[in-house]
Chain A
Amino acid sequence: MKKHLFTLALAAASFGAAAQTTPATPVKAAVAPTPAGYADLLGATIAQVLHTGDAAELKGLAAKLERAATVAPADWLPRYYQAYALLINVFQSKEDGDAKDKTLDQAEAALAQARQLGGDESELLTLQAYVYQARLGIAPVLRSLKYSRLVNETVAQAKKLNPANPRAYLVGANNVYYTPSMFGGGADVAKPLYEEAKAKFAAFRPATALAPSWGEGQTLGRLKQYEVATAQTDR
């Protein structure tokens, strides 16, 4: 009743870890010699991560990627994919919220290690944004305000660093897709964003064979859904 602004409070409460993603100056990864067969093994593990939706298997693959990190301690990719595997595990797992939060803590720890190793900042930020989206999903009622904004901010940073990174556009589009239409979100608003992501994917060539390249399937899958939906309404 006194000087209190309810709305300000709402925005305020969601403000917390806002500025924690200050990008560290990327240190060029020292080109350390990697054991023979490392790239093949890592490639196979990454392929497994990208092709499974099984929560337990993803946990196991994350452990394997942790092992890979000991094989080539200067390579950021095992840590990056470890984080990715843990993140997808959270979307697929049936565990309770606290357990999921702990898994995401581990994913963020792996991301931090990848950043220390001088990983691609735009890709790391995109994955961080994806982690925020997972955090939101654990308790949407309580977390929407804070994490929806964090996703947006982090995606914006990722795009700024590399406007050609298609994954940043995909994560951004997902955030809009799941925002209710009355707040400027929803399927219709998200559609052009997915199309933009699709175009970015079409133009994208990963720097190396193992560099992050996930997401095109998800984008095309979503656009396919739109087609199906349109076809149904037409009929």
Chain B
Amino acid sequence: MKTPALLLLFALASVAPTAAQTPVAAPTPASVAQATTRLSGTVLDGAGHPLPGANVFLKTTFDGATTDSLGRFAFSTTATGTLPLVCTLIGYALQETPLALTGGVLALPPCRLRESRASLGTVTIVAGAFEASDEKRSATLKPLDILTTAGAMANISTALNTLPGTTRVGEEGKLFVRGGAASETRYYLDGLPVQSFYGGSTAGMPARGRFSPSLFKGTLFSTGGYSAEYGQALSAVVGLNSLDLDPETQTGISLLSVGGSLSRTKRWARTSASVNVDYTNLAPYFGLTAPAQRWEQAPQTLGGAFRLVHRTGQTGMLKLYATYSHQQVASRQADPEAAYALGGRLTSLQNTNYYFNTTYRTAWRRGWSLNAGLALGRERNAVQPEPQRIGTLEQTATARLVLTNDSASTWYNLKLGTENTVQRYDLTYQATPDAPVATPGFLEKRTAVFAESDLSLAPRLTGRVGLRGEYSALLHKANLAPRAALAWQLGAGEQLSAAAGLFYQNPTNDLLYVQPALGFERAAHYILTYQHMAAGRILRVDTYRKDYRGLVCFDRYNTLNASAYANSGSGYAQGVDVLWRDQYRTFKKIDYWVSYGLLDTRRQFRADLAPAVPTFAATHTVSLVGKYWVQQLHLQVSATYAYGSPRAYYDPNQPGYNQGRTPSSQQFDLGLSYLTHLAGQYTIVHLSMSNVLGRDNLYGYRYATTPDAATGRYAAVPVRSLMPQLVVAALFISVNKKTPGDTSVAPE
């Protein structure tokens, strides 16, 4: 297909008689004897550089001219008297000066235009934040980048792992950002915190996000310095914005080698509703590939979701999303404890999750808009690592109300909000099936308020200041977190920005049920970012420093000793992140990005014996993501290569702490999408293969709790992924689409 633009251009050229140009009918007012005035001059910017393209004219007349490349203009007028001379150019303040038209030649002094202050919303402060959006030009990614990244397997966190500032922790699959633990990253759906973003997982089984990336029109991934809107996250925030009305009525059928799903979407004028059910079962797959692990029950998931969107009035939008999933898995794995040396240790897991999210937004009066939401979450997780039985039930309700005024002033806006959370966490624990049941638990009620303002400070300077306050009834403590960010527009598409702030988070559930009398954990972020975006290319360099205080520590050898729990830990992380993206520029059909992260971090927290490099940090991380579109074949090939330098682990047989180093981890993933029609219906055939080269990545060792009586050494087993390689074939069919999908364009 030739580009429509080109064709349209030919079409136009063939129709428009380009040569024949009607000369301007010279103004010929009948009456007055003509006193023609010839005006000339230049238009300059504040620094005295000429400004081409400015429109200079006499108000209330047609007489005027556009400045040339040297900022010069000249025109004649037959108007007389005194008229305002107007000088305008986009990005500059309009200038109006009265001018007496005397006839004859008038050489005007240079007209100097002042840059107008950046209008709010035109500059996005990029410090720390990556955005995936179709609508914003500042976005680094498109929403579909998440889907089409090889190896991501339609998993949001895995796709975000290809951005700098993250460490891939292959055995967990979660997001670890800038030296932070996985629990330090919080997910928000339409502004509401998600209780449990990841599905359940056991050791060595990488967790998957519960939400399909296709639900979202935009994703904000902030690796630090985020807005006061977000709380309860020490390291990072992922903000997911769901789609508004579904575009059309259709039925979707997905057949996967590991399961399938069915969906039905109905669109009315102001309303859309959709339901889907999906089922995944890896048993046949593992039956075929016969991995070394013995699955007593291969991973199996049954889920469903319902979504309703309704537009009210001109600006109102009501969204409702409810989802359910049930998951089970059981595996027998090698274990360092002597009792399981022969047959391995059986761990089974059952996870049932309900999540409900509803939001309403509307424009209100006097420039205020309202955003209200309610999220409910309920998760039951039962893990049974032989012979223990651990059951948890977590229930959360969060209500949120945000008022925004975008027209408070031309130079600032205002955002005020409150968030209230009630969280109930109950645990049942049995050391053996016959042992008595321990039932610790806690109830948390947390209130947060925040205020934030975007400020246009100077022509090229935009700022954001915010303050967030939280009170936790469980901890009996309050915190106040100031945040600030500044962006300096260096040139078109070039920005230097900085962000700093304090970030607080409750200790994690597994700590709170043992000892609720703890304080908040705290991180301070300092970030400096340079970004240059031009013509399909992005270069971005971030430097950061993060200081942790009040991290919770406990006794490694007696984890249930509540009195040993204290906010006594601390640490730091600092580093440099670099992202380079090139879309179809260097290579005509290839879109690729390279990210590199350098990380220096040490901390002492949880069971750490001494300050050390945490096990989830790699000094060097490299990701290379490429997408190649073969137009003739309607085929997209995508590939991802990831490298992580050696990570630390604690070897109790050696002196020191976290002194062991794994080999580097490397992974190469491939994806293939073929766009076609099947029985007249738009169809995508997808083939995805992770770890194509079959590299046996080693993520560390697990050691027995007590040394072997005979040798005095602690027995060890290596930690590896239970799914070192995964091949998935899929067929996605959309039935009854009104607008037929175009298979001749890349599924971007």
Q: Which residues of A contact B (CB under 8 A)?
A: 1-19, 22, 35-37, 40-41, 44-45, 47-48, 51-54, 57, 59-60, 63-64, 66-68, 70-71, 88, 91-92, 96-98, 101-102, 106, 133-134, 136-138, 140-142, 144-146, 148-149, 152, 174, 177-180, 182-184, 217-218, 221-222, 225
Q: Could you list 16 further interchain pairs (A-B, Cβ under 8 angstroms) beyond the known A97-B536, A141-B745, A149-B247?
A: A4-B154, A5-B254, A7-B682, A7-B732, A12-B215, A13-B134, A13-B143, A41-B25, A44-B24, A92-B13, A140-B745, A141-B629, A149-B739, A152-B739, A183-B744, A225-B14
B16→A52 contact, CB < 8 A: yes
State which of A6, A22, A48, A146 has its C-beta within 8 Å of the C-beta of B254. A6
- By a CB distance below 8 angstroms, the chain A residues around B688 are 1
Summed over the interface, the residue pairs from A and B with CB atoms below 8 Å come to a total of 257
Chain A CB within 10 Å — which of B153, B217, B744 has the most?
B744
Q: Please measure, in the bound complex, the distance between the C-alpha atom of A184 and the C-alpha atom of B16, giving whole angstroms.
A: 28
Task: Establish whether residues A140 and B3, one from each chain, have CB atoms under 8 Å apart when the complex forms.
Answer: yes
Q: Output the nearest chain B residue to A136 by Cβ-Cβ distance.
A: B4
With A8-B265, A48-B24 already in contact, the answer to whether A2 and B60 are too (CB < 8 A) is: no
Structural contact, A148 and B741, CB atoms closer than 8 A: no
Q: Is the CB of B677 within 8 A of A51?
A: no
Q: Tell me the bound Cα distance from A178 to B4 in angstroms.
A: 6
**Minimum CB–CB distance for B690 against chain A, Å:** 10
Q: Is B743 interfacial (CB 8 A cutoff)?
A: yes
- Bound-state CA distance A13–B142 (Å) is 8
Asked whether B635 is an interface residue with its Cβ less than 8 Å from the other chain, the reply is no
Cβ contacts A to B, 11 pairs, < 8 Å: A1-B280, A2-B303, A10-B144, A15-B243, A44-B25, A45-B62, A52-B16, A53-B18, A67-B62, A183-B743, A225-B14
A9 contacts which chain B residues (CB < 8 A)?
143-144, 147, 212-214
> How many angstroms from the CA of A220 to the CA of B723 in the assembled complex?
63
Check B733 against A64 for contact (C-beta < 8 Å): no
- Inter-subunit contact B677/A92 (CB<8 Å): no
In the complex, what distance in Å separates the CA atom of A47 from the CA atom of B68? 24
Q: Which residue of A lies closest to B25 (CB)?
A: A44
Shortest B159–chain A CB gap in Å is 12
Q: List B contacts of A22 (CB < 8 A).
A: 314
B16, A145: Cβ atoms closer than 8 Å: no
B59 contacts A5, CB within 8 Å? Answer: no
B9 CB to closest chain A CB, in angstroms? 5
Chain B residues 699 to 736 lying within 8 A of chain A, measured CB to CB, are: 726, 728, 730, 732-734
Q: How far is the CA of A174 from the CA of B535 in the complex (A)?
A: 28
Known contacts: A145-B742, A180-B1. The answer to whether A1 contacts B16 by CB under 8 A is: no
Q: Is the CB of B15 within 8 A of A70?
A: no
With A6-B214, A17-B135, A51-B21 in contact, is A98–B66 under 8 Å at CB? no
- B246 touching A6 by the CB < 8 A rule? no
Chain B residues 266 to 288 lying within 8 A of chain A, measured CB to CB, are 276, 278, 280
CA distance A138 to B584 in the complex (A): 13
A48–B154 Cα gap in the complex (Å)? 53
Residue B532 interfacial (CB < 8 Å): no
Given known A6-B747, A145-B741, contact A218–B15 (CB-CB < 8 A): yes
Closest to B9 in A: A91
- Are A221 and B737 closer than 8 Å at their CB atoms? no
Chain B residue nearest to A152 (CB atoms) is B739
Q: Is there an interface contact between B276 and A5, defined as CB atoms closer than 8 Å?
A: yes
Considering the chains assembled together, what is the distance between the CA atoms of A232 and B107 in angstroms?
A: 60
Of A11, A66, A92, the contact of B55 (CB 8 Å cutoff):
A66
- A12:B147 contact, CB within 8 angstroms: no
Given contacts A10-B144, A218-B12, are A2 and B741 in contact (CB under 8 A)? Answer: no
Lowest 4 CB-CB distances: which A-B pairs, in order? A137-B5, A9-B214, A3-B278, A178-B4
> Which of B11, B677, B684 makes the CB contact (< 8 A) with A218?
B11
Contact assessment for B748 and A142 in the assembled complex, using a CB-CB cutoff below 8 Å: yes
- Cβ of B248 under 8 Å from chain A: yes
Q: Out of B24, B732, B745, which one reaches A144, CB within 8 Å?
A: B745
- Interface residues of B, Cβ cutoff 8 Å to A: 1, 3-9, 11-18, 20-22, 24-25, 27-29, 53, 55, 57, 59-66, 86, 88, 90, 134-135, 137, 142-144, 147, 153-155, 208, 212-215, 217, 243-248, 250, 252, 254, 256, 258-259, 261, 263, 265, 276, 278, 280, 301, 303, 305, 311, 314, 493, 534-536, 584, 629, 673, 677, 682-684, 686, 688, 726, 728, 730, 732-734, 737, 739-748
Cβ–Cβ contact B314 & A3, under 8 A: no
CB distance from A155 to the nearest CB of B (A): 13
Which A residues touch B314, using CB under 8 A? 22
Kindly state the separation between the CA atoms of A106 and B528 in the bound complex, as whole angstroms: 33
* CB-CB under 8 A for A1 and B258, given A53-B12, A67-B57, A184-B740: yes
How far, in angstroms, from A10 to B60 measured CA to CA in the complex?
49
A7 and B12 in contact (CB under 8 A), knowing A37-B29, A64-B62? no
The complex places the Cα of A8 from the Cα of B146 at a distance, in Å, of 14
Q: Shortest CB–CB separation between residue B128 and chain A, in angstroms?
A: 25
Chief secondary structure at chain A's binding surface: helix
* Whole-angstrom distance between the Cβ of A201 and the nearest chain B Cβ: 13
- The residue that A3 contacts in the complex, of B7, B305, B740, B747, with Cβ under 8 A, is B305
How far is the CB of A80 from the nearest CB of chain B, in Å?
Answer: 16
Q: Do A11 and B212 have beta carbons less than 8 Å apart?
A: no
Closest Cβ neighbor of A68 among chain B residues = B62
Q: Is the CB of B18 within 8 A of A54?
A: yes
Q: Is the CB of B21 within 8 A of A2?
A: no
A222 to B12, CA, bound (A): 10
Residue in contact with B744 in the complex, picked from A4, A101, A180, CB distance below 8 Å: A180
CB of B21 within 8 A of CB of A11, answer no
Report if A19-B11 is in contact (Cβ < 8 Å); known contacts: A7-B682, A11-B250, A53-B16. Answer: no
In the complex, what residues of B have CB within 8 A of residue A222's CB?
11, 15
Measured between C-beta atoms, what is the minimum distance from A21 to chain B in Å? 12
**Complex contact B12–A92 (CB within 8 A):** yes
The answer on a CB contact under 8 Å between B742 and A183 is: yes
Closest to A56 in B: B66
Instruction: Provide the residues of chain B in CB contact with A19, threshold 8 Å.
Output: 244-245, 311
CA A84 to CA B4, docked complex, whole Å: 19
Across the interface, which residues of B come within 8 angstroms of A15, CB to CB?
217, 243-247
Contacts of B153 in A (CB 8 A): 1-2
Give the residues in chain A near B730, CB-CB below 8 Å.
1, 6
CB-CB under 8 A from B143, the residues of chain A are 9, 12-13
> What is the bound-complex CA distance between A158 and B407, given in angstroms?
31
List of B residues within 8 angstroms of A136 by Cβ: 4-5
- The answer for the CA separation of A161 and B64 in the assembled complex, in Å, is 37
Contact in complex: A146, B303 (CB < 8 Å): no
A70 close to B243 (CB less than 8 A): no
CA distance A15 to B250 in the complex (A): 14
Interchain CB contact under 8 A, B213 and A4: yes
Q: Which residues in B have their C-beta under 8 angstroms from that of A182?
A: 677, 743-744
Residue of A nearest to B29 (CB): A37
Q: Is the CB of A5 within 8 A of B263?
A: yes
The residues of B that contact A98 with a CB separation of less than 8 Å are 493, 534-535
Complexed CA–CA distance, A74 and B694 (Å)? 70
Contact A180 B247 (CB under 8 A): no
Q: A145-B745, A152-B739 are in contact. Are A41 and B247 (CB under 8 A)?
A: no
Q: Within 8 Å CB of A5, what residues of B?
A: 212, 214, 252, 254, 261, 263, 276, 732, 734
Given contacts A7-B684, A182-B743, A221-B11, contact A47 B734 (CB under 8 A): no
B5's contact among A16, A35, A91, by CB below 8 Å, is which? A91
- Contact between A2 and B301, CB atoms less than 8 A apart: yes
Q: A1-B688, A178-B8 are in contact. Are A12 and B246 (CB under 8 A)?
A: yes
Least Cβ distance of A170 to chain B in Å?
11
A44 to B27, CA, bound (A): 10
CB distance from B362 to the nearest CB of A (A): 14
Contact A4 B741 (CB under 8 A): no
- Given A4-B254, A8-B252, A36 contacting B29 (CB threshold 8 A): yes
Query: CB-CB < 8 A to B66: which residues of A?
Result: 59-60, 63
Chain B hits for A218, CB < 8 A: 11-12, 15
Q: Complex formed: what's the CA distance from A141 to B254 in Å?
A: 25
Q: Say whether A174 contacts B734, CB under 8 Å.
A: no
